[in-house]
Structure 1
Amino acid sequence: MGPARRGRADAVPGAGDTRARYRRILRFAAWHLAVIWWFELLLPRLGLGRVAERSRARRMRRFAQRFHVLAAELGGLMIKVGQFMSSRLDVLPPEITAELEGLQDEVPPVPFPAIRALAEAELGAPLEALFASVEETPVAAASLGQAHRAQLLPGDAADTGLQSVVLKVQRPGISAIVDADLAALRKVGGWLSHVRLVSERADMPALVKEFAQTSLEEIDYLNEAAYLERFAVDFADDGRVEVPGIVWERTTRRVLTLEDVTAIKITDVDALRAAGIDPVKVAPVFAAVMFDQLFTNGFFHADPHPGNMFITPVPGPDAEHPWQLTFIDFGMMGAVPPQTRSGLRKLLIAAAARDGKGLVAAIAEVGVLVPSADTAGLERAMTGLFARFGGMGFAELREVDQREFRDFGVEFGETVRSLPFQLPENFLLVIRAMSLTSGVCSSLDPRFNLWDSVEPYAARLLREERGNIARDAAAQALDAAGTALRLPKRLDGLLTRIDDGSLAVSNPRLERQLARLTRVAQGVASAVVFGALLIAGSVVRAGDTVLGSVLMVASAVPLLYLLWPGRRR
């Protein structure tokens, strides 16, 4: 992916001093890393661990509040970092995730003249010559871009079949801001890689590299348009899913023109009910569509938050689906490699079957556990987890007596903490997508139970896996049958070659060992000849100087052969 073209609209007031921005991010990170080092590492070593424990919740909450302020003021990638942190319920304490949960693109809109200047520089003509109209008030203002509704000219509308569109324009100066933010994050990632508690569980430089790649792709609108088309192909025959069309003639790296598909926001429960759509029925369909992306297609929308999802009613009593899930904003997409996808499918099947051992094996295959991990304790913990809490939805888990969770933590907490977990590369977006999916489904149905969607989907995957195994077994049986049919003829040929003495036998390993033994024997012989000539020359030299000198000089020949590097090859 090449760098975005920079037009005259980049030099816009308000883009900010990137050096000051870089220093501010580093100061924030350095201060809070020092606080963590003091309270979490030094005080426990001094026997003051209880002091750190008593203030931990308050410190975490204060850190989250300060980061929220920092992200809202700076915008750019800092908001993306905060949104990611809010989804890491598995790693970060609730004091942090709860505070950052509401962090959205809380940035003021860019004045329209600056947006106009950038769009016209990119498209190469005044907006009046390209669109019938463009609304100056943005329909959405985010940290990386801004969207305005527009109407296509009659000729373009006839060619594309579209009329109402959304003109998405990159924020002026965002390229420099992203560069500064990524430089700061790389520096902080380097610091964290020297903290053993962090480095044992995640390759921070690799994670920052992955985040950087995703961020740079997100500000390349040609890349987003290509992703949208690929996603549309995956769901071309699926009546549950709809995506906007692209107006390629009005699209560049920093300007994207899409069909206006604005409809009912997926979490607007009142509007859904008013349209005759039951939110409780939307949740499992949304979960199933996300499962298809992650476990079957291997290409998924990594930012399915409520602002990027609409429910579009489908008119007509004969419609196969009375409503559709409409996805927008394809800047953040993820790809699951086949090996990881296989592990994720096994993980889902094991979770649905409450199979603790199978779950741990799948976790290891995905790469969350390092290969050397002793998994026996984790298998017992997962089995115990399923026995106590398996099948419960989030609403049911909230009703469980907190003492049960505490008892489980006492019993298995040390086992889980001692295991060498790691966060594999290309896994950040998977976690983000699943976290957002769970949150959206719970907003649609407070008593939504993810297991109700996981179990039928896992059953389908299991049937597919069995079908694949059967096909593999059939293919192997055909290969074996073919080999068996060819075997008599090949044996006859082999016996003929043995009889006439034309059979050549090759054993590379044996040949290498013989060659090694030969070199060792030659080396020993050379050493013996060298020593003999040297000693003989020194003895003879006392009576015959010339002969003794000749023998001593001649001893150099076996010595050079012994030391010659080419002899080892």
Structure 2
Amino acid sequence: MAHRLSRSARGLLAVGAIGLGGYWYDRQVQASSLTRTLRTLYANVMIIVDYKWNFQPGKADRINDLHSRVARRVLDVCEKNGGLYIKFGQAVALYSTILPPQYNQIFKTMYDEAPSIPYAEVVRIFECEFGRRPEDLFAEFEAEPVASASIAQVHRARLRCADGYGAWVAVKVQKPAIATQMDWDLATIRWVVKGLEWAFDLPLTWSLEYTCDHIRQEIDFINEGRNAERARSNVNQDAKLARHLYIPRVYWEYTRRRIMTAEWIEGTRLSQLKGGQAGTDFYRPAEVMNTLVSAFASQIFVHGFVHADPHPGNIILRRHPSDPRTYQAVLIDHGLYLREDERFRNEYCRLWTSLLLMDMRTVRGLCARWGVGDPDMLASFTLLRPFRSQGSPAHLQAAVSREELYQMQLNMKQNIHHFLTDTERFPKDLIFIGRNMNMVRGLNKMLGSPVNRIGIMADYAARGLGAHWQAWTDSERSLGDGRRRLPAAWGSEGLLHAPGRYLGALGRYLATYVMARLGYYTFRFNLALVSLTFSAYGLWSAAMERLTGREARNIEQVMDDSIINAVEQQLGYKIDTSIFEA
């Protein structure tokens, strides 16, 4: 018996030693990647079981509790795992527009903040990247970081120069665990998304690899530096924009894959401004928002190179260094950028101009090309305002039973399948463009909606198509077709050799030209009407404030209500208005 006990004890000790050794290896060598993966997969299984078991007609009165329970479980995993999971949690928060309101309420606490790593770790990264310590590279280097996020932290430093002290710079240092955790985390997210797609028959994996590729780019600081330089070059092509928008310079001699050094910017982050404040002696909200909306519209429609994370914390407002009487908005954090396909950029410009012209033939043609089954829903997501191509907006009846709400939420799956009829053709660029536009909308609302966001965006869409008149022909009528090209007057198909054919071609050419010009001027007229409506609403709001003494709602808030009604009609639940905050 003693012999048997000793063998059992040895077995238990061996298992314990293996377990402790595995835990030590995972924690010290793999940055807890296995622990984080197991935690995520367990939560995923529990979520699937919870929804499968409890999302039933007989439990319709407890569906809100179910959504809250699942949202808390997802938030708990993101917070405990940290790193890239914080980014995942932010994505859930951003796209809570199409999720039950419980997700938005619970994910409000999800911020991109994380504990900083010790200075000794920073030194090790410098020695790995440069072969030198921070104090050997810089005249001064502050050991205490000024900010710490999920992927990196920022230190303030001063460059060396001939007299010993140069300019202050911001040194961004990647946390060492990120590189180790990256492959584990992305693989785990793939398993999770595929599991959810299988369990609930929802199109979820179609954009997975595309999104993962962009996440990988975000942790390469050399790529971030190149993004900043390209964005800076694009801004400088527009003298008016360049006066009020600035991209900090990158110091390449102090930049590596895990360390980036850029200009230090003193100013006020937009996230620190109070909504609706009148401004100061050097800026007014309307001017600032005009600059920002124009900047992002230029990126989307003209250059096809788009900052995909323009939240208020990434925009700094300061006095203009050359003219202290005015302002300069500084755009930072260039890790996540979208490089639009040229064909898509052109088609997206057409979508905007066609929506303003109410040219639903072109819109439906683009939807067919993009694998979208609901043009009105695409238009609403594009403009971030309700859109109906015909008829009046639908409204929910005053009283809806819990069972009916359950059925409407169940129908959401069919609505998604109807919208995404062919995920292979759906432009994945719309993922990050939608992210950008939603954040810009939130910025405008935060500052009291001082500018006509839709008007500015549409104007840049027209610029993106270019001045050439052929850009304004109906794309569904074979733009650039040989039949619309005018043969040379004296060629084989010219006036002398084939007068009938030549005159027919001339007639088609002139008709196309006239229709294109008519389309362009109709667009400009409609754009003027949009601007007039915006101005009229602003005057009406100001008058009502004076008469009633109460603060009037801005136009973005009014559109919020319309979108809420439209989403409630489609999904079966009333969304939280704060989803529209940036």
**Residues 105 and 420 from structure 1, CA distance in 2 versus in 1: closer, same or farther, beyond 3 angstroms?**
closer
Counterpart of 1:419 in structure 2 is: 418
1:114 positional shift: 1.1
Q: Measure the CA separation in 2 of the matches of 1:295 and 1:269.
A: 28
Residue correspondence of structure 1 range 355-370 to structure 2 within 5 A: 358-365=362-369, 367=370, 369=372
**Residues 486 and 22 from structure 1, CA distance in 2 versus in 1: closer, same or farther, beyond 3 angstroms?**
same
Tell me how large the CA RMSD over aligned residues is: 4.1
**Residues 276 and 323 from structure 1, CA distance in 2 versus in 1: closer, same or farther, beyond 3 angstroms?**
closer
1:454 positional shift: 3.9
Q: Measure the CA separation in 2 of the matches of 1:156 and 1:363.
A: 62
Amino acid at match of 1:312: R
Q: Measure the CA separation in 2 of the matches of 1:386 and 1:462.
A: 27
Give the structure-1-normalised TM-score: 0.68
Amino acid at match of 1:434: M
Answer yes or no: is 1:281 the counterpart of 2:287. yes
1:122 positional shift: 1.1
What do residues 157-203 of structure 1 show as CA deviations (whole Å, max 9, x unaligned)? 99xxx61101111101211112211110111122234246313xx4x
1:284 positional shift: 3.3
2:124 pairs with one of 111, 117, 131: 117
1:483 positional shift: 8.6
For the residue of structure 1 that corresponds to 2:110, the secondary structure is coil
Structure 2 residues not aligned, in runs of 5+: 1-24, 499-582
Amino acid at match of 1:135: E
Residue correspondence of structure 1 range 305-316 to structure 2 within 5 A: 305-315=311-321
Contact 2:465/2:471, CA 8 A, preserved across alignment: no
Contact 1:224/1:330, CA 8 A, preserved across alignment: yes
Counterpart of 1:216 in structure 2 is: 216
Q: Measure the CA separation in 2 of the matches of 1:419 and 1:14.
A: 47
Counterpart of 1:25 in structure 2 is: 40
Counterpart of 2:271 in structure 1 is: 267
Residue correspondence of structure 1 range 477-516 to structure 2 within 5 A: 480-482=486-488, 485-487=491-493
Amino acid at match of 1:86: A
Q: Measure the CA separation in 1 of the matches of 2:392 and 2:491.
A: 56
Counterpart of 2:196 in structure 1 is: 192
Structure 1 residues not aligned, in runs of 5+: 1-9, 44-48, 390-399, 493-569
1:342 positional shift: 2.4
Counterpart of 1:59 in structure 2 is: 66
1:437 pairs with one of 429, 436, 440: 440
Counterpart of 1:131 in structure 2 is: 138
Contact 2:39/2:77, CA 8 A, preserved across alignment: no
**Residues 416 and 465 from structure 1, CA distance in 2 versus in 1: closer, same or farther, beyond 3 angstroms?**
farther
1:249 positional shift: 0.9
Greater relative contact order (Cα < 8 A, sep 6+): 2
Q: Measure the CA separation in 2 of the matches of 1:234 and 1:135.
A: 33
**Residues 118 and 142 from structure 1, CA distance in 2 versus in 1: closer, same or farther, beyond 3 angstroms?**
same
Contact 2:367/2:375, CA 8 A, preserved across alignment: no
Answer yes or no: is 1:79 the counterpart of 2:78. no
What do residues 193-252 of structure 1 show as CA deviations (whole Å, max 9, x unaligned)? 4246313xx4x1x42212221121111111111111111111123323211111111111
Contact 1:139/1:148, CA 8 A, preserved across alignment: yes
1:456 positional shift: 4.2
Counterpart of 1:296 in structure 2 is: 302
Contact 2:227/2:337, CA 8 A, preserved across alignment: yes
Contact 2:377/2:387, CA 8 A, preserved across alignment: no
Contact 1:264/1:272, CA 8 A, preserved across alignment: no
Amino acid at match of 2:49: A
Amino acid at match of 1:140: A
Larger Rg: 1
Amino acid at match of 1:210: Y
**Residues 39 and 358 from structure 1, CA distance in 2 versus in 1: closer, same or farther, beyond 3 angstroms?**
farther
**Residues 405 and 105 from structure 1, CA distance in 2 versus in 1: closer, same or farther, beyond 3 angstroms?**
farther
**Residues 102 and 359 from structure 1, CA distance in 2 versus in 1: closer, same or farther, beyond 3 angstroms?**
farther
1:353 positional shift: 4.0
Q: How many residues align?
A: 449
Answer yes or no: is 1:336 the counterpart of 2:340. yes
**Residues 96 and 359 from structure 1, CA distance in 2 versus in 1: closer, same or farther, beyond 3 angstroms?**
farther
2:261 pairs with one of 257, 263, 266: 257
Q: Measure the CA separation in 2 of the matches of 1:414 and 1:129.
A: 59
Q: Measure the CA separation in 2 of the matches of 1:140 and 1:15.
A: 25
Q: Measure the CA separation in 2 of the matches of 1:405 and 1:460.
A: 47
Answer yes or no: is 1:228 the counterpart of 2:228. yes
Amino acid at match of 2:175: R
**Residues 75 and 119 from structure 1, CA distance in 2 versus in 1: closer, same or farther, beyond 3 angstroms?**
same
**Residues 164 and 468 from structure 1, CA distance in 2 versus in 1: closer, same or farther, beyond 3 angstroms?**
same
Counterpart of 1:520 in structure 2 is: none
Structure 1 residues 445-454 or 473-482, which shifts more? 473-482
Residue correspondence of structure 1 range 398-477 to structure 2 within 5 A: 416=415, 419-421=418-420, 422=423, 424-445=427-448, 450-458=453-461, 464=467, 466=469, 468-469=471-472
Q: Measure the CA separation in 2 of the matches of 1:478 and 1:351.
A: 25
